[in-house]
Amino acid sequence: MEVPMLVSDFLRRAVQLYPDREAIIDGDVRLTYGRFQERVNRLANALAALGVGKGDRVVLLAPNDYRFLECFYGVTAIGAVLVPLNYRLVPSDFTYIINHAEAVAFITDSELFPIAEQIRGELAGVKHFIAWSYAGDVMRPGWQDYDALLAAASTDAPETPGLDENDLATLNYTSGTTARPKGVMMTHRNLYANALNFIMHLGITDQDTILHTLPMFHANGWGSPFAITAMGGRHVVLRKIDGGDIFRLMARHSVTIACMAPAVLSTILNHPDKEQHRIATSPRLIVAGAPPPAAYIKQLQDELGWGFIQVYGLTETSPFLTVSRLKPHQEGYEESERIRIQDRAGMEMIGVDLRVVDDEDHPVPMDDQSIGEVVARGNVILKGYWRQPEETDKVIINGWFHTGDLATWDSERTINIVDRKKDVIISGGENISSIEVEDVLYQHPAVLECAVIGVPSERWGETPKALVVLRAGQTATEAEIIAHCRARMAHFKAPTSVEFIDSLPRTATGKLQKFVLRDTYWAGLAKRVN
């Protein structure tokens, strides 16, 4: 008899093997796996009593919290579909997503009541408004208290909804940076395959403790709520990014692993008091979202002695596609070469078939020079975009998902992301990777953060422009920055102009929003012209 692969399997295993083990740490809240399962059952039964059932969408708007982890399992246990929202979007985006998803229930954190109340009247299909609260909070009229609902519900296992592994588990909306957000349909099979890869390629065991630095709304926190739970590890919840809190929690709870974007890695490396904390576990940091500067990897390993693993993927791929690990014969390479390999997107994970192709869909040579688009297929690929079949057809062509990411690959079958299609700068007919230029900029001692965009040039069509955030107390001039780059790369790739700014626009998960920088530049240019 075939048994479907369902995300509930992960918590079931943890409870059977580790019922009394501490599962979740969130401030003063401590839950064993047995207690966690009881609360998950209560949530599932409470939602079922409200009439929420198989296939219904349940929206969740909240920062990281132990109750967020409960929703991953409680909502899906009755066959409903969890729709986690990026809480840093604007109210109009929330309204669009909730109505587009046709959600019947809306769960939020009381801290976000002002936003939730602002859009509530526009959510025609939502029947139930639920909020988790904190000591001293007063529940607003029309809202049901999350913990009160759980307290009144049974701890018995909910009625089995008869799920298939190809049924939806979550609906994860993209950030909508270039158009309206799209709902990525993730099946139980998608998330199951991703969790297994997380476990195998990142070496997860029951001795691991994860610090949730990544927002849990993002592609299910990169699978960690499932992978860590499956192995009986511990979850340490971090509500918002703070360098001091990261170091304190790592030391106090013997954290061994954390997933993050390069911006959070930068926060750790540049934290002024990092030398005061003694982290005995040498945690391994899983970094994705964008290739970090190679200098970050060297600093992390040399100064802190922590492990670094680069992964690559998208929301549409559950999200992992590749992992960058040194092969045995590469361990003896010179440090600079080892770091270069670590800074690549890496090799396919198990069950992922990946290619780098040209515009005619033919694989480009594995010479690490020829650039093509990354395409992939496998069990981690999205089922499609919710209620947007035409958008699905644009990205899934002949069974292959087209990522929109440009890369090279080498004879080891490791890929190196060079840019998004829309971020490549074409200057005088030459393709320039903005990521390559940024990596050189990060080698300048005064540069804290940077981004490179293409700007108009009468002679070359466009040329690179560097937007630079300087380190506190450091100075640099435009001429110095340009000279630094020209000394380290082909001159046509070097920035022709530099602008110093206070900060870079980023998404909630730390991804750089180059479209904002481009829009700001064009708006400023139009203003100057007019």
Domains of the chain: 1-12+30-186 (3.40.50.12780), 424-529 (3.30.300.30)
Tens of pLDDT, residue by residue, the chain (530 residues)? 789 999 999 999 999 999 999 999 999 999 999 999 999 999 999 999 999 999 999 999 999 999 999 999 999 999 999 999 988 887 988 999 999 999 999 999 999 999 999 999 999 999 999 999 988 788 889 999 999 999 999 999 999 999 999 999 999 998 654 457 899 999 999 999 999 999 999 999 999 999 999 989 987 677 899 999 999 999 999 999 999 999 999 999 999 999 988 878 989 999 998 888 989 999 999 998 777 888 889 999 999 999 999 999 999 999 999 999 999 999 999 999 999 999 999 999 999 999 999 999 999 999 999 989 999 999 999 999 999 999 999 999 999 999 999 899 999 999 998 877 777 787 876 778 788 899 899 999 999 999 999 888 877 878 999 999 999 999 999 999 999 999 998 788 899 999 999 999 887 666 788 878 887 776 665 455 44
Q: CB neighbours (10 Å) of residue 92?
A: 10
Q: Per 3-state DSSP, what percentage of the chain is helix, strand, and coil (rounded to 5)?
A: 35, 25, 40
- Cis (ω within 30 of 0) for the bond into 319? yes
Phi and psi of 141, rounded to 5°?
-60, 140
Output the six-digit token pair for 297.
């990897």
Phi and psi of 94, rounded to 5°?
-60, -45
- Which own/partner pairs from 404-408 qualify as long-range (CB within 8 Å, at least 24 positions apart)? 404/373, 405/314, 405/373, 405/374, 406/371, 406/372, 406/373, 406/374, 406/433, 407/345, 407/356, 407/371, 407/372, 407/373, 407/374, 408/356, 408/364, 408/367, 408/368, 408/369, 408/370, 408/371, 408/372
Contact 464, 419 (CB under 8 A): no
